[in-house]
Amino acid sequence: MKLPKPPNLPEKPLKPNFFHGHRKPSRNRPVVHGGLFSNRQYLSRDSPQSQSNAVTNRTPFDLRKWDPQSRPRPSPPPSPPSATISAASERLSPIARFVLDAFRKNQNHWGPSVVSELNKLRRVTPSTVAEVLKVGNNAAVAAKFFHWAGKQKGYRHDFASYNAFAYCLNRTGNFRAADQLPELMDSQGRPPSEKQFEILIRMHADNKRGLRVYYVYEKMNKFGFKPSVFLYNRIMDALMKCGYFDLALAVYDDFREDGLVEERTTFMILVKGLCKAGRMEEMLEIAQRMRDDLCKPDVFAYTAMIKTLVSEGNIDGSLRVWEEMKRDEVKPDVMAYGTLVVGLCKDGRVERGYELFVEMKAKEVLIDREIYRVLIEGFVADGKVRCACDLWEDLVGSGYIADLGIYNAVIKGLCTVSQVDKAYKLFQVAVEEELEPDFETLSPIMVAYVVMKRLSDFLELLERIREFGYPVADYLSQFFKFLCADEEKRTIALDVFDVLKTKGHGSVCVCNILMEALYKMGDIEKSLSLLSEMREFGFEPDSSSYSIAISCSIEKGKVQEACSYHEKITEMSCVPSIAAYLSLARGLSQIGEIDAVMLLVRECLGNVESGPREFMYALRVCHVCKASSAETVMEVLDEMNQEGACISEVIYCAIISGMSKHGTIKAAREVFAELKNRKIMTEAEMVVYDEMLVEQTKKKTADLVLSGIKFFGLESKLRAKVKFPCQWR
């Protein structure tokens, strides 16, 4: 029995503790007190008076009392966010935090200052190295520190420090260097174990680097290690997921040669991978081997195979697996049925999916709402609206509440068979059930009203949409965009707009949609008239309106008017559309404004992120004209043909501009002649652009002469010659 301590005996003094810095200082362990790592204050063992008198002496360092949490610290000066201690660093040991602080003080750059800081520690242990490397994010500094630690007298890295170094290299993207750690370990007298290879394989598998996984696997064999069943599964799974199916099968052959026994996981990895690759015969062989050596696949295994095949779009393969499941007398569950039905409906085989639906009904298998939805959508897509409505009734009778997707499908189907009144009632039911219908719900009803010329009902529907709080302007924009996408319904869209503008319904977006539709229909006059009518409606045209007007004006041959629209867009600090840039460049080239065309090309490429390819090639053609060679220009034009870019008027203007500045008329004519021989340029175009070439060359020559006169200061003599021509005879 332990006797109680006598009350008169003094308490046992507190043992010195390295963490709290209570050990007696020595010559090799100076004292340090301080706050955060970025604000350390060094204090010597001398008295304060002697310390103040010897400021220039080097202050000794004592790690025993270095604890940022043990003393109240003065308010440090504001430091950048990178200097603050992370939450992960707070959980480290004091020595590891000191090392990280040394890195931070030197901005994560290894150098003499870092080494001098680390030399104060006398020594670091492998556990400290592992701690530092686990939180390090600079591969260069981590490698230098790892090497510095290894040069300590009597020090050897352990497996933990090597593993931490591998994780650090992988975390910073230096996974190829991490793969060389086994050789490094072997050279330093610590041969790697299977764990080190497993770490590398796991890192590569998590980042989907299949070839690196196989590389580490081959290196593992060179070191004489044979993976375990678990590691073999990890290797094959990574190779299958990355698409290296043949390599995975080669690893499986090595697995069998090593005399290992397959697990259920091994078979499932191979089967799912071969299903993903569509190699059904090999998959069936593996499945048969699974039956012979282990057990027949259960419903979960078959469901996984079907899901993989459906995700890859291999519906025939999924039906083949379904037959194999029946042959094994495995009863499919609701997940297996649902996966196959969804795949069949998405592939357009609604009838086959409905057969499985009837089979589920007969077996009293629970049918979820997703199966109903895909079947209803499939029947509507096939035009079998009655079957879709029957499934709707069966859904409601089964106690389900239809979601918005099912409502949208049935409403769309009813509108296609001119049952718009029933569709509208269904829409009202959806509103009563608080499903918040969207444009996809209302657009079939709106289109049906317009096609059936029930405009009064259409206007009432708009008022109802406004009452529900839906954005009428946005719905109308989407509605007209949907109508104008169909060439047969563009005329109907114009008729509807004539009615809506009298009722105050409209917007700039709607007008732009109709302007573009009229432009595509070839009704240029009506498209431009709509631009002028926009102000009458109280709308201010935007950049899209003027961009369409530019294309319309170019079609009419009014290039000056198109340029005025371009100036209005510029005044609005907006950018024209690419179609407007192309149209305006084509119009300017037709009237011989070569400089204006090239200026427009540069403006477009400067304003638009991905401009037209012919504009990019135009600048390139202009640049290669410096060689004054027709062959170099034709090489660029041949590349344009290979890339599918059009050799248009802009390219001809680029040839004229480049040759008039840097080349010769002869070289430009050789290019035009070659284009005519290839039947890219017609005879008439060659004559027109040859005249433009001569005029542009004269213009550039005159500009050069005037520049020379101004350079030599001969303007006064030129003016005198013009004023008194007789004196110069």
SS3 248: helix
Q: What pTM was estimated for this model as a whole?
A: 0.65
Give residue 58's pLDDT band: very low, low, confident or very high (50, 70, 90).
very low
Q: What is the DSSP-derived secondary structure letter of residue 714?
A: -
Query: What value does the mean pLDDT take over residues 383-395?
Result: 89
pLDDT per position as a tens digit, 470-483: 788 888 888 888 88
What is the C-alpha to C-alpha distance for residues 179 and 161, in angstroms, rounded to an integer?
Answer: 15
Q: What is the pLDDT of residue 90?
A: 59
Whether residue 341 contacts residue 371, with contact meaning beta carbons closer than 8 Å, is answered with: yes
359 CB contacts (<8 Å, ≥6 apart)?
Answer: 337
CB-based burial label for 147 (10 Å; 0-12, 13-18, 19+): exposed
Report which of 597, 599, 558, 551 is spatially closest to residue 576, judged by C-alpha positions.
Answer: 551
pLDDT over 50 (residue 722): no
Query: What value does the mean pLDDT take over residues 345-372?
Result: 89
Query: At 724, which amino acid appears?
Result: F
pLDDT over 90 (residue 726): no
Q: Which residue has the tokens 């009863």?
A: 331
What is the C-alpha to C-alpha distance for residues 241 and 270, in angstroms, rounded to an integer?
Answer: 10
SS3 622: helix
Q: What is the pLDDT of residue 38?
A: 40
564 CB contacts (<8 Å, ≥6 apart)?
Answer: none
SS3 2: coil
C-alpha of 224 from chain center = 42
Whether residue 640 contacts residue 647, with contact meaning beta carbons closer than 8 Å, is answered with: yes
Cα separations (Å) of 427 from 407, 451, 472, 709? Answer: 8, 19, 17, 80
Query: What value does the mean pLDDT take over residues 237-254?
Result: 91
Whether residue 171 contacts residue 165, with contact meaning beta carbons closer than 8 Å, is answered with: no
Give residue 340's pLDDT band: very low, low, confident or very high (50, 70, 90).
very high
Report which of 124, 104, 122 is spatially closest to residue 30, judged by C-alpha positions.
Answer: 122
Q: What is the pLDDT of residue 712?
A: 62
Q: What is the pLDDT of residue 250?
A: 92
What is the C-alpha to C-alpha distance for residues 416 and 419, in angstroms, rounded to an integer?
Answer: 7
pLDDT per position as a tens digit, 115-145: 888 888 878 888 888 888 888 888 888 888 8
Phi, psi of 294 (to 5 degrees): -130, -75
pLDDT over 70 (residue 25): no
pLDDT per position as a tens digit, 258-303: 888 888 888 889 988 889 888 888 888 888 888 888 888 888 988 9
Helix-helix angle 490-500:455-467, to 10 degrees: 60
The C-alpha angle 342, 343, 346, rounded to 5 degrees, equals: 85
Report which of 569, 513, 521, 563 is spatially closest to residue 546, judged by C-alpha positions.
Answer: 569
pLDDT per position as a tens digit, 619-633: 898 888 888 788 888
* Mean pLDDT score of the chain: 81
Whether residue 235 contacts residue 213, with contact meaning beta carbons closer than 8 Å, is answered with: yes
pLDDT per position as a tens digit, 60-101: 545 445 444 444 444 444 444 443 345 555 577 888 888 888
pLDDT over 70 (residue 34): no
698 CB contacts (<8 Å, ≥6 apart)?
Answer: none
409 CB contacts (<8 Å, ≥6 apart)?
Answer: 373, 376, 377, 380, 388
644 CB contacts (<8 Å, ≥6 apart)?
Answer: none
Query: What value does the mean pLDDT take over residues 322-327?
Result: 88
Q: How many CB atoms lie within 10 A of CB 169?
A: 24
What is the C-alpha to C-alpha distance for residues 115 and 97, in angstroms, rounded to an integer?
Answer: 15
What is the C-alpha to C-alpha distance for residues 36 and 94, in angstroms, rounded to an integer?
Answer: 11
Pair of tokens at residue 246? 């043949």
23 CB contacts (<8 Å, ≥6 apart)?
Answer: 16, 17, 29, 64
Q: What is the pLDDT of residue 213?
A: 92
Q: What is the pLDDT of residue 287?
A: 87
State what percent of residues in the chain have pLDDT above 90: 12
Whether residue 32 contacts residue 63, with contact meaning beta carbons closer than 8 Å, is answered with: yes
What is the C-alpha to C-alpha distance for residues 649 and 294, in angstroms, rounded to an integer?
Answer: 73
Report which of 668, 365, 264 is spatially closest to residue 356, judged by C-alpha positions.
Answer: 365
3-class secondary structure per residue, 393-432: HHHHHCCCCCCHHHHHHHHHHHHHCCCHHHHHHHHHHHHH
Phi, psi of 32 (to 5 degrees): -140, 135
Can you list the positions of beta strands (E) in 215-258?
none
H or E segment and range at residue 40 = strand 40-42
> What are 611's strand-pairing partners?
none
H or E segment and range at residue 263 = none
pLDDT per position as a tens digit, 515-573: 888 888 888 888 888 888 887 777 788 899 999 999 999 998 899 999 999 999 999 88
Pair of tokens at residue 705? 């002469």
